[in-house]
């Protein structure tokens, strides 16, 4: 708990000064909000839903929430924005919907530049070429040090090590527990996530269910390794495991490599393996994988149900939904049942991080499954020059 608080405090020290000292203003109308996204959308056809890669699906969902069912030719009052220009794969321009039932958005337009990779997005923010871009959590500290204004959500993404069903014999409970003990979660947060996040011992973060502190972690990295060695001494023969990660995900790769290093200190051999897109974890030959699970609800029962459903597809985990009447105690008990079997080893919680230009006002980081609140955002207009 104290380490978690320390990590949060550290990032707050970096971020808060950047966000503070905004002068008070009534919202102003006007201006064009410039947005960079990594996805490259080639179609805006309705009904595509979350088709495509994770990044594309996310971008499509965000855009659909901005325009609603409001297409270029329609005259409905649903959707805060309407499409005014569309260059497939390059640029999407949205205009404020004057008839929007929730009130006309403050900005006149949004220009969404597509296909901007993480490096481009960061550069655009630094050079004030964009007003908004999502930043990888591991890049947040660097961005703040370069003067980029950041907005950080509550931690809403779980990073976990999941043992696959197929490896149940190979990775028995004691091995799984030894690996869990050996992992230095503090280092994962400090060095890989650059202090943007929290070490995790449970599936849900503290702010969601209020019980994360009940899941204990080794008192120190050395104590964890010692406990892992103690567990391994009770077993016969060396253990060799393959740990898979999404080959296109630098964060997953860094974490997988860190887990392998920690496990080696305890005497467990882990080989990391990049799994190419399109190949399933079980087909890859991996015994365990690094998984990123994004919360789809801030309600603990729904968030845990979603997580268990996903985990149940890979590991020997009861993936059934929690009852609508589940209490905090029920949710905790179910969470603990998964954790104490070590089929799922929580590592860290990461937030969503957004880079903003200095003129963006009234931005609030969205919660799980919420959309970018661009209709509420307004842009600081340059002060009119005073005649001499």
Partner 1 sequence: MRHSCRFHFLLTICVVLFVIAGAQARAFRQHTDALPKVWNDLAAELADIVAAMVSPAHPVNFEFVNVSGLGAAGADAARAALEAQLAHHHFRIARSANADTALRATLAESSENYVWTVEIRQKDSGHAEPQVAIVTLAKNALPNDSGDGQTVTLKSQLVWKQAKRFLDFRLIGGDPAPLSRLFVLEPSLLEVYDSKNFEWELQNKIAISRSKPWPRDVRGYLKGSDDKIAFAMPGISCTQTSDAIPAVKCEPGPEDLAATGAPVPGIEVGEAVNVGLSCGDARAMVASSVGDWTQADSLQGYIVRNNQAFASGVASGTAVAFDGPVVSLVQDAPGTNAVRAVVRNLKTGNYEGYLVTASCSQ
Q: Which residues of the shown chain bind partner 1 in the complex (CB under 8 A)?
A: 1, 22-27, 77, 99-106, 154, 206-211, 213-214, 298, 300, 327-329, 332, 336, 340, 361-364, 375-376
- The CA distance from 82 to 69, in Å, is 9
Of 78, 70, 120, 117, the residue nearest 94 (C-alpha): 70
Return the number of the residue (48 or 296) whose C-beta is nearest partner 1: 296
Q: Taking Cα atoms as reference points, which of 178, 174, 175, 180 lies closest to residue 161?
A: 180
Shorter beta-carbon distance to partner 1: residue 98 or 169? 98
Q: Write down the least CB distance from residue 22 to partner 1, Å.
A: 5
Pairing label, strands 81-87, 288-294:
unpaired
Name which of 179 and 326 has its Cβ closer to partner 1.
326
Q: Identify the CA nearest to 163 among candidates 346, 369, 375.
A: 346
Residue 143 token pair: 């961005």
Phi, psi of 320 (to 5 degrees): -70, 155
Give the nearest distance from C-beta 140 to partner 1 in angstroms: 18
Going by C-alpha positions, the residue among 349, 345, 332 that lies closest to residue 8 is 349
* Residue 372, beta-bridge partner list: none
Residue 126 or 330 with smaller CB distance to partner 1: 330
Beta carbon of residue 110, minimum distance to partner 1 (angstroms, whole number): 15
Distance separating the N- and C-terminal Cα atoms of the chain: 59
Supply the minimum distance, in Å, between the C-beta of residue 250 and partner 1. 30
Smallest gap, in angstroms, from Cβ of residue 20 to partner 1?
8
Smaller CB separation from partner 1, 57 or 298: 298
CB of 165 to partner 1, least distance (A): 25
Which of residues 97 and 138 has its CB atom nearest to partner 1 in the complex?
Answer: 97
Q: How far apart are CA 97 and CA 30, in angstroms?
A: 13
């Amino acid at each position: 708990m104290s380490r978690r608080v320390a990590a949060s405090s550290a990032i707050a020290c970096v971020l808060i000064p950047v966000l503070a000292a905004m002068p008070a203003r009534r919202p102003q109308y006007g201006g064009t909000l410039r947005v960079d996204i990594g996805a490259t959308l080639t179609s805006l056809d309705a009904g595509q839903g979350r088709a495509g890669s994770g990044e594309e699906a996310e971008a499509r969902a965000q855009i659909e929430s901005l325009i609603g069912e409001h297409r270029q030719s329609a005259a409905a009052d649903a959707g805060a924005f309407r499409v005014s220009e569309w260059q497939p794969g390059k640029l999407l321009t949205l205009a404020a919907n004057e008839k929007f039932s929730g009130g006309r958005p403050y900005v006149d337009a949004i220009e969404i530049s597509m296909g901007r990779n993480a490096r481009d997005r960061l550069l655009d923010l630094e050079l004030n070429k964009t007003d908004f871009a999502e930043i990888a959590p591991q890049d947040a500290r660097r961005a703040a040090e370069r003067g980029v204004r950041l907005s950080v959500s509550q931690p809403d993404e779980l990073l976990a090590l999941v043992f696959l069903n197929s490896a149940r014999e190979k990775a028995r409970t004691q091995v799984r527990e030894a690996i869990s003990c050996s992992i230095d979660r503090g280092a994962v947060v400090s060095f890989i996530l650059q202090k943007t996040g929290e070490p995790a011992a449970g599936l849900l973060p503290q702010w969601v269910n209020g019980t994360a502190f009940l899941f204990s972690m080794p008192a120190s990295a050395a104590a964890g390794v010692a406990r892992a060695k103690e567990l391994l001494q009770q077993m016969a023969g060396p253990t060799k495991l393959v740990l898979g990660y999404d080959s296109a995900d630098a964060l997953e790769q860094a974490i997988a490599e860190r887990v392998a290093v920690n496990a080696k200190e305890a005497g467990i051999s882990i080989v990391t393996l990049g799994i190419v897109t399109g190949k399933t974890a079980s087909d890859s030959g991996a015994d365990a994988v690094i998984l990123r699970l994004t919360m789809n609800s801030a309600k603990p029962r729904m968030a845990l149900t979603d997580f268990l459903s996903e985990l149940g597809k890979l590991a020997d985990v009861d993936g059934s939904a929690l009852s609508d009447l589940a209490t905090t105690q029920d949710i905790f008990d179910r969470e603990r049942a998964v954790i104490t079997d070590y089929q799922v080893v929580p590592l860290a919680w990461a937030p969503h991080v957004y880079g903003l230009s200095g003129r963006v006002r009234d931005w609030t980081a969205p919660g799980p499954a919420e959309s970018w609140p661009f209709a509420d955002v307004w842009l600081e207009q340059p002060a009119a020059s005073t005649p001499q």
